[in-house]
Chains A and B, each alone.
Chain A
């Protein structure tokens, strides 16, 4: 036992590095009390972690008695989370909202790292309890971060809402886990799978347990009907945290959901169905649950977004809709569907962070996130407006942008699996989404500014970060070969075909 634990230690170097970063960030804050130094510590920590993750590429192992898996799938998401964390650190440095509360700035960066640690465990967790614990670790840090600007009333409200919904969902999830344990007598997902595969489990009970566990995942990826916290939290939290929640936290939630779906509910004795799809264990209606979840998530997200006047809130609903598109990839329950969702996430990282970044820059200058303040920005800040237009088109899925390629792979997986009607619902949803994305760049270019007319100027570093996000959004739309190859390689999970 002890030996296996010691053996396992070498596989959690990235997590250990992050923990060290977390401690160093606290220390740095105590000693220097300067945000630049704390941020620099965090950036260094992220880079070191990236090196360790890089060393794990190609690894396939299960560690700590099957608590955690280290496999290409987890590594893909670890890179994704690190990249977004790195970008978010820079966001935070540039954000007036964050910088304005000086006394809590140290906590801010260390909590960010704590959240990343939680996500790292989420993407690798292969034991139901481990899944629950890592989810909680991520959630608790994000509750604090959502309410970090104590002075802002809506931030406190957002944080409280977040806690209440979070507590409810994780309670439901825990209950579901306990039912699964009662049914199978196992907590690690591989054993659960083999017990389920033998048959004889009560289908109704299993369905209830599945639905309860979905509540936990659904909350993390903000799928309807577990999304109620999302708009308020996204609106109330500082933009940098909103952006981080919408990308990294969602990615971790998806990674966990994907591993759970594939390992628990797939009958590995049936090798594969014709189109490379996996067979679910007899009597499990997992696909139907995912279909319902994805359709209502994207439709509701898109329809409600139309009525939003606060750009941050609008993007919150848009991110709910995007969770719906990504769930479409899971519905396929096959390598191509999973790879599609993973490709989508990379595209989504750049375009969604980009859109939130623009919101932050505008809010820095004007102090408002209202869609009215975007009037006339096309002439006041041309580069910013053009970039925003590119991000929004990418979110809609219009070529030649990254978002198009993401959607292309999702719809391709659906068509290949002959789920045509689902693909039709998906594309109609993207037409609907155009309607509200257009409102933003319509205000920017088609309407004239009211009041303030002076051009907005941005610091060189701010513009540079904008370009760092815009260039991949365009380039990945024109050339996506290597990324797709990497995603297809990374679909492999430990212990399953």
Chain B
């Protein structure tokens, strides 16, 4: 089923609503700071409502991935069409949007986190107009990445995010913001230009027959790229297990790995997370990191299943390094925010380990972990933000005994902390368990070794809890006020989701079930065979 409002598809709405919001914010006079805040909030609330609609109307039985029929809420239109000439074929770029079980959880997450980020940004006083305009532009870029099914379109959205992120960190960030912002920008651009080359190589290798004219046209359509039958014989990426296919896979992988971030491409992350303002850290950890993993799932794996399987073990090994190395680094931190940043590295390692297993449990666990990590880390960064706003320090050793001073705050904190360390009954447990269960079947010893990371996570989380919230309250924090209503509005929905999905994960698992299953099938048994079977 395709859904339209006012003649425009629902995915176009959800993607470009923030741009409309941006225009509204820019049109408001400079003094109307509150109007800008409320306008941004209104547009992100609308986005959440649309996401809710997608969640409700989504058909749980369709798999998507490489089948046109399996994609939902599709919108397909011609964007650029350049007619062929004697020496150069037709160029065709589609405006092609659609979601399946892999992207829908990410769409929900993006809408939710953007809404939370706007609330968390309420106290921003420095050039409010620029801030919210950039935040909304960033929102469009993120949403676009998750709904685009044309590689060119995907790339454009992917790159649109860079600039707002640069400014949001660079203008509104902490003391070392300039360094962190440019580091983020350069790292990500390096990754994306490699992706660009892989995209062009794919473009010249894949062609489909235009039903209208019968001529062969090169295309950026991802679904066409997933079908081995569409690769022109003799083109650079034709065949299976060729040198250039491996090179292209690695180029794509580096592009995505920088975003995840996978060791050794992670060094931008602690800087960016620590220097960014709270709301931007929330977005970085909550959504941007997921894009890397999503790119692997949406593009790298189904288009290069041969290379994906060949490099599955190295990928799993990198996942293992992420888990343990991230946890060890987190343990050594004295800055609350940096600790959370490294915990993200560790938790994204679990996603990578689950993906690399290439079985249903691992895949489900990984996608679910992406969603859960988004909500849990967003909570953790908000929690750091709350305390930093009050105390203007993030040193773990500066605090103690906050439990009695700020009881409501501490209650929320306990939920987030225990979710992060994987306590049963909270959402993090289920996804981590699935990931490890999947990985254990494929890589026994590596998974056992990775589980050390779980112990380490428990250790640093509990140790942090003890240092900040237990013990004696230093004299100077005696007057710290407890968490206020606005902060609760941001945190409580996330906490509810974390608890609810911990007890009853079915709503999200049902969405991704068919797609995760089928993606494993595509990678393992070949897209073409699977296509014929259906």
Contact = CB atoms under 8 A, between A and B. Distances in A.
B87 A336 contact: yes
21 contacts: A272-B87, A276-B88, A334-B87, A336-B88, A399-B156, A399-B159, A399-B160, A400-B160, A411-B200, A412-B200, A412-B203, A416-B204, A424-B197, A428-B190, A430-B193, A435-B182, A438-B166, A438-B182, A445-B171, A446-B170, A488-B85
A418 B182 CA distance: 32
B194 interface: yes
A480 B83 CA distance: 13
A431 B79 CA distance: 27
B186 A485 contact: no
B82 A485 contact: yes
A479 interface: yes
Interface in B44-103: 79-83, 85, 87-88, 91
Chain B's interface: helix, strand, loop or mixed, by majority? helix
Given A415-B200, A423-B197, A435 B163 contact: no
Nearest to A397: B193
Contact of A427 (B83, B156, B178, B196): B196
Contacts of B177: 446
Interface string A390-413: 000100101110001000100110
A398 B88 contact: no
B253 interface: no
A393 B189 CA distance: 12
Contacts, number: 93
B43 interface: no
B358 interface: no
B417 to A, nearest CB: 35
Nearest to B88: A336
B171 A399 contact: no
Interface string A291-334: 00000000000000000000000000000000000000000001
A427 B189 CA distance: 10
A77 to B, nearest CB: 19
Contacts of A420: 197, 201, 244, 247
Contact of A445 (B87, B170, B201): B170
A427 B170 contact: no
A442 B178 contact: yes
Interface in B152-196: 155-156, 159-160, 162-163, 166-167, 170-171, 177-178, 181-182, 185-186, 189-190, 193-194, 196
Interface residues of A, number: 40
B88 A335 contact: yes
B217 interface: no
A446 B169 CA distance: 10
A481 B83 CA distance: 9
Interface of B: 79-83, 85, 87-88, 91, 127, 155-156, 159-160, 162-163, 166-167, 170-171, 177-178, 181-182, 185-186, 189-190, 193-194, 196-197, 200-201, 203-204, 236, 244, 247
A377 interface: no
Nearest to A446: B170
Contacts of A399: 155-156, 159-160
Nearest to B129: A382
A445 B236 CA distance: 44
Nearest to A386: B130
Contact of A412 (B156, B162, B204): B204
Contact of A276 (B83, B87, B155): B87
A442 B179 CA distance: 11
B204 A481 contact: no
A415 B244 CA distance: 12
B264 to A, nearest CB: 18
A435 B186 contact: yes
A427 B203 contact: no
A186 interface: no
Given A398-B162, A412-B200, A418-B236, A442 B170 contact: yes
Given A398-B159, A438-B182, A484 B82 contact: yes
A178 interface: no
A420 B166 CA distance: 30
Interface in A261-310: 272, 276
A434 B162 CA distance: 12
B88 A485 contact: no
Contacts of A334: 87
Nearest to B172: A446
A379 interface: yes
Given A404-B159, A435-B186, 17 more contacts: A272-B87, A389-B163, A399-B156, A399-B159, A408-B196, A411-B197, A412-B204, A415-B236, A420-B244, A423-B197, A431-B193, A434-B186, A445-B171, A446-B167, A446-B178, A481-B81, A484-B82
A289 B85 CA distance: 29
A445 B163 CA distance: 12
B197 A434 contact: no
B170 A434 contact: no
B36 to A, nearest CB: 15
B312 to A, nearest CB: 25
Nearest to A389: B163
A272 B167 CA distance: 49
A424 B182 CA distance: 21
Q: Most B CB atoms within 10 A — which of A404, A431, A445?
A: A431
Contacts of B182: 435, 438, 442
A479 B78 CA distance: 11
Contact of B171 (A393, A416, A446): A446
A276 B127 CA distance: 53
A404 B93 CA distance: 15
Contacts of B162: 398
